[in-house]
Amino acid sequence: MSLSNNQKRQMRSAARLYAVQALFQMEHSDQTIDAVRDEFETHRFGATYEEGEMAEGDVDTFRGLLEGAVAQQSPIDQMTDRALKATWPIDRIDPTLRALFRAAGAEMLAKSTPPKVVISEFVDIAKAFFPEGKEPKFVNAVLDHMAREAVPDAFKG
What does each C-alpha distance from 74 to 22, 105, 111, 116, 154 come to in angstroms? 18, 11, 18, 23, 23
Q: Helices then strands (H, E): number in the chain?
A: 7, 2
From CA 75, how far away is CA 81, in angstroms rounded?
A: 10
Give the per-residue pLDDT at 88: 72
Give the per-residue pLDDT at 20: 97
Give the per-residue pLDDT at 4: 85
Give the per-residue pLDDT at 116: 96
For each successive 10 residues of the chain (157 residues), what is the average pLDDT? 82 93 94 93 72 74 96 95 78 91 97 95 95 92 95 84
Question: What are the DSSP calls for 111-141, one per residue?
Answer: T-S-HHHHHHHHHHHHHHH-TTSSHHHHHHH
Distance of CA 56 to the CA centre of its chain: 16
Give the per-residue pLDDT at 85: 74
- Domains, the chain, ordered by start: 5-150 (1.10.940.10)
Give the per-residue pLDDT at 69: 97
